Chain A
C-alpha cells in the first residue's frame, strides 16, 4: 500500500520473515500440491480416450494411475500443512508477544500506551493477529494458484486457443467485482469489529462485576444492555459476512459459467468433432481448479483490507505511530526445552541520596466540551535517603495522580515539571522508577493467577521472598496455607482475602529491596499494629518511603507530612491532626 509507511504488505512481510523456514517450506509444498490437478486432468482424459476406443484394460490402468496421483497430492499437502501451521502460529505469537511486551514493559522505547479496558483489548489480541496471519496464508494460495494456472493455460491453449481465451472473460468479471467492492469490504469489516469490541468489552465488564450485579439485583437491565450491543453486532456481522461470502461464492461459481461460455464458443468445433470428449474432460477437470486463483486473489485482497484494520488496531497497543513495532522481530523460543531467557534484565542499582520533584503539574485533556482539568498544580517535593514522607488529603484531591506522575505512570495525562534522582533529571521515568530503583504499590493492586510466590518474585533472581513476606505481615497467612508459597491464588488472586491480596502485593513491591518504595493508601490492607511494624521495618531496612496514608501512626513516624488539596501540595496544617 502506498503513502502509509510502512504499508500493510511490508508489515505482513516482516512478520512472515521472522521465522522464514517453515513458511518457505510450506509455500513450496503447497505449490506442488496445487499443481497436481494437471496430472489428474491428463489421467482422466487418457482414461476417456481409452474408453472411447473401447480399450477396457487400458482404461482400468489409467484408473489406478489416478489413485497414485492422488496419493502424491496427499503427501505433499500433509507436509505442507504441518510446516505452514507452525509458521501461522509463530506469526500470531510474534504479534501477540510484541503487543503484550509493549503493555507490560517498564518504560523505554517499546512501551505502549496502556489499554483502557482489558476486555476490549482482548479481542485485538485474539482476532487481529489471526487476520494478518490469514493474509500471509493467502499468499501461499495465490502462489500455488498462479503456478497451476500458468501450466493449465499453456496445456489447454495447445488444445484450443479460442476456447481457452474465453475462459478469462468470467475470470475478469470476478476480479473486477472484487476490486469494486474493496472499500465496502473494509468499511463493513471495521464497523463489525467496532461492534464486536463494544459487545465483548461490555461482556468482560459484566463478568468481572458478576458479584456486584448480583448484589444489586441488576441482572435484567445489564442483560438488556448486552442485548442491545449484541443486536447491533448481529447487524454489522451479517452485512460483513454476506458480502465476503458472496464474493467467494461468485468466484467459485466461475468454473460453471466459464464452461458454459466455452461450450457456446466451441459449439462448431464440438459438432465437427475437432474438440474430442477427452479434450472436453480435460477442460472440465482443470476448470474445476482454474476458479481457484481468482477466488484466492479476491480473498487475498479482502484479507489485506482486514489486515489494514487489524494492524491499525494492534498499532494502538504498541509504541510508535506506524505499527512497525507490531512486526518487530524478537527472540521467541518455540520449544519449552529451549533455555529460559534471562528474566530480569540487569539494571544497575543507583543508591538514592535525594529525590527532588519540582513544579510537577498534571492535567487531563479536554473532552466533550469539558474543560481541561489540572489535577496536580506545581507540586514540589524533596525526599532524602531513608526518609519517610506521607501525603494525605481528601478523595479526588490528586494524591494518586501525583504518585503516578512521579513514577511515569500517568499515561493519559499531560505532565509538566521535573523529577531528579541525586540531582540528575530522570528522562524516562517509567523505565527508571522500577526495581531496583523504585517499586510501586497501587491502592487497588492486581495479582495474577499463578502461585503466590511467583506473584511476589516475578521471575527475578535476586528477589527476597521470605524477607518480603515477613515484612509485609503476610508470612503467617502463607505458613497456614497447605501449599505455602506454591499456593495457586486463582484468577486475579480471588482465592485470597482482600487484605491478603494487598499484603501479597506489598511483598511484591518489597521483594527486590527497592531504593524508593511508593505506596498508595494501605489502610484497607493492614491493621494498625501491622502498619506500624511495617513502617518500622522499612525504616530499619533503610528504604526511602513515599506513601499516601490517613493514619496518625504514619504521621507520627513521618519525617514530613504533606497535604493535597485541590491539586496543591502543601505542609499539613495541624488542624487536621484530629481526624
Chain B
C-alpha cells in the first residue's frame, strides 16, 4: 500500500538498518504473497453466488459449492496469517537486537564530551526505546503494508481479467489514493520527533531523580521534584496532542479517499450495468474490493503511532549512528614496550566555549617514575589525567607518551597500555566477580580472588565472589565500592597507571594497608597519582603541584618536603594529617 510509504529518506534509513538480513526479508515477502492472494478469492465466490441467484434458475446445491469454498478459504487464511505474524516478528527482532548491540557499542566508543551531555536515561531511550519502535514497525507494519500492496495488485489483475476498463480505473484510483495519503504523512512525522524528544526528556529527568532519591528525600526536595515532573509531563501532553492532531488529519484524508472510491464504484457500476457491460455480481465484487481496502488500512491506522514513532526513531537512530567521536583513531605509531614516559608541551584545554581549565602546561615525567599530582579541586588535576588517557584531546599543545604524540597511538593500544582508576565508581548489575572482570569470562576465579585480596577486600572474598551485588543481597559502602573498582587494575598489565582520587573515599587506615600492594603494582610502571589527601603520597618519587590550570611546582618529593619555602611543604604543614 503505497499510501503508507515513508518518504525516501525514511526508506533509505530503513534499508540501511535491515541490510544485513535481506534474505530473511525476501523469504517473508514470498510468504506474504501467498497470504495476500487468498482473500482475493472470497469476493469472486460471492459474485458467483449472486449471479447464480440472479439467473433465477439456481438450486440450493448450486449455491452450496461456492459457499463451502468460501468458508474453507476463510479458515485457511487464518492459519496463514498466524504463520506470517510469527515469521515477521522473528525477523524484526533479529534486526532489532543486532541494532541495539551495534548502537550500544557505538555509543560506548563516543567521547567523554558526548557522555557529559547525554544522560544515561536519555541514551537508554535512544538505544532501546527507538530501536523498539523500529522493530515494532518492522514486525507489525511492514508485513501488513506489503501484503496490502500485494492485495491491491491482485485486485487490479482480477478486475482487468473481468473487464480491462474496471482494472484500469481501479489502478488509477489506487495510485491517487496512495499519493494523497503519502503527501499528508510527512507532516505528522515532524510532530512525532518533537513528541519523542519530550518523552526522552521526561524519562531522563525521572531516571536522574531516582538515582538521586536519597539526596532528594533527605533534603525534602519532594515538592520541587514533583513540580519539575509536572512541567515535563505537560510538555509531553502538549506534544502528543499536536502529534495526534496531525495524525487524525492524515487519517481523515485517507478515509475520505476510500469512501469516495466506494461511491465511484457504486455510481460507475450503475452506469456499466445499465450498459450491460457487467453483472450485478460484479457490482457487489467491486464494492467488496473497495471495502477490503479499508480493513488493512484501518489496521495500519490502528498502529499509526507505531509508524509515527518509527519514522522519528529511524531518523534519530541514523543521527546517533552518524555521531562521530571527536577523537580520531587513525594513529599507527607504537611507543617502545615497557613503562611509558609522559611529556606535556604547552598543553592547554577548555570545554567548548568555557574558560581554560589547563593553560600552557609543560611537564616531563620519565618512564617508571611514580608522581603525585596535588592542588585544589577544580585546579585541573583530573583534566590532565583525562588527557593522558585520551578521554579528550588537548585544545592546545601536545602530549607525548613514550615519545609518541598521543594522537598517533591507535586507541586500542592506548587503552590496553594505559590504565586509570577514576574518581567515580560505577558498578553494574551482576556478581562481585563480574564487576571486577567486567564480564570477561576468560579471567580465572583465582586471579579475581587475588585482585580483590590485594585491594583489601578479603572480607568480601570470604563471602563468595559469585554473589550478586546491589539490591537487598549485598550492598557495599562507598569505600568498599571504590576498593572493588580498584581491584580491576590487578587483572591488567598496563605500562602507565593513573589513579584519580582512587582512595578518596577510603579511610587512612585502610589506605595504609593498601600501600604495599600499590607500591608493588607501580613497580616497573609509570604512575600518576592524583590525591587530595597528602598522606596518600608519602612514598612517591616526584610531586607536581597544579593550581588554576598551571603547574606551580614540580620536583623530587623528598627535596620539596625538605624545602621550607616550597608550596608542597606549605600544604603539608596545613594538612595536619600528613604528619606522621
Contacts and interface: CB of A to CB of B under 8 A. Distances in A.
Interface in B40-82: 42, 46, 49-50, 52-54, 56, 58-60, 62-64, 66-68, 70-75, 77-78, 81-82
A480 interface: yes
Contacts of A218: 438-440
A365 B475 CA distance: 11
Contacts of A3: none
B382 A497 contact: yes
B302 to A, nearest CB: 10
A267 B60 contact: yes
A279 B129 CA distance: 49
B419 A216 contact: yes
Contact of B438 (A119, A198, A213, A230): A213
A90 B234 CA distance: 9
A253 B81 contact: yes
A288 B295 CA distance: 8
A122 interface: yes
B213 A115 contact: yes
A131 interface: no
A473 B470 CA distance: 34
Interface string A85-115: 1100110010011001101111100010011
Nearest to B237: A89
Nearest to B226: A101
A341 B267 contact: no
A215 B418 CA distance: 8
Contacts of B224: 343-344, 458-460
Interface of A is mostly: helix
Given A221-B441, A368-B467, A578-B580, A442 B284 contact: no
Contacts of B430: 202, 225
Q: Which of A245, A332, A400 has the most CB of B within 10 A?
A: A245
A171 to B, nearest CB: 14
Given A277-B50, A524-B504, A66 B217 contact: no
Interface in B73-120: 73-75, 77-78, 81-82, 85-86, 89-90, 93-94, 96-97, 100-101, 104-105, 107-109, 112, 115-120
Nearest to A85: B244
Interface in A423-438: 430, 433-435, 438
A395 B506 contact: yes
B311 interface: no
A494 B427 contact: no
A93 B225 contact: no
Contacts of A477: 378
Interface residues of A, number: 193
A537 interface: no
A550 B217 contact: no
B355 interface: yes
B50 to A, nearest CB: 5
B573 to A, nearest CB: 10
A551 B252 contact: no
Contacts of B483: 395
Contact of A447 (B74, B127, B212, B412): B212
A67 B73 CA distance: 32
Contact of B507 (A198, A395, A407, A526): A395
A126 B203 contact: yes
A281 B49 CA distance: 13
A300 B236 CA distance: 26
Contacts of B269: 51, 59
Interface stretch (B14-22, B159-167, B253-261, B393-401): B253-261
B226 A100 contact: yes
Contact of B67 (A198, A263, A578): A263
Interface in B503-561: 504-510, 512, 532-533, 535
A359 interface: no
A395 B225 contact: no
Given A245-B85, A245-B140, A400 B222 contact: no
A247 B351 CA distance: 55
A190 interface: no
Contact of A250 (B82, B231, B459, B532): B82
Contacts of B120: 119, 204, 207-208, 491
A78 B250 CA distance: 11
Contacts, number: 560
Contact of A490 (B116, B121, B128, B426): B116
Nearest to A576: B509
A321 interface: no
Nearest to A245: B85
A363 B57 CA distance: 92
Contacts of B280: 48, 51-52, 277
B27 interface: no
A20 interface: no
A349 to B, nearest CB: 12
A374 B267 CA distance: 86
Nearest to B208: A448
A347 to B, nearest CB: 7
A199 B127 CA distance: 11
Interface string B485-517: 100100010000000010011111110100000
A447 B244 CA distance: 35
Interface stretch (A7-15, A145-153, A180-188, A254-262): A254-262
Contacts of A368: 467, 473
Interface in A18-36: none
Contact of B212 (A221, A347, A446, A495): A446
B63 to A, nearest CB: 4
B377 A498 contact: yes
A135 interface: no
A395 B415 contact: no
A54 to B, nearest CB: 5
Contacts of B378: 477, 497, 499-500
Contacts of B574: 528-529
Contacts of A222: 108, 428, 438-439
Interface stretch (B168-176, B270-278, B314-322, B402-410): B270-278
A369 to B, nearest CB: 10
Given A223-B105, A256-B39, A524 B501 contact: yes
Contact of B426 (A209, A225, A227, A237): A209
A52 B478 CA distance: 85
Contacts of A125: 203, 206
B271 A206 contact: no
A234 B97 contact: yes
Interface string A489-522: 0111011011110010100110000000000110
A338 B209 CA distance: 24
Contacts of B326: none
B565 interface: no
B215 interface: yes
B241 interface: yes
Nearest to B576: A552
A203 B209 contact: no
A417 to B, nearest CB: 19
B152 to A, nearest CB: 17
Contact of B234 (A81, A119, A335): A335
B291 A285 contact: yes
Contacts of A237: 89, 93
Contacts of A217: 412, 415-416, 492
A238 B90 contact: yes
A63 B264 contact: yes
B490 to A, nearest CB: 12
User: Nearest 5 pairs between A and B by C-beta?
Assistant: A499-B377, A459-B224, A260-B71, A524-B504, A491-B119
22 contacts: A44-B262, A48-B283, A59-B267, A85-B244, A202-B429, A218-B438, A221-B438, A234-B93, A238-B90, A241-B139, A257-B71, A281-B287, A333-B234, A334-B234, A395-B483, A434-B220, A435-B220, A458-B224, A491-B117, A491-B121, A497-B377, A503-B377
Given A211-B424, A264-B67, A459-B224, 9 more contacts: A54-B273, A114-B217, A260-B74, A263-B49, A394-B509, A400-B478, A490-B117, A525-B377, A526-B377
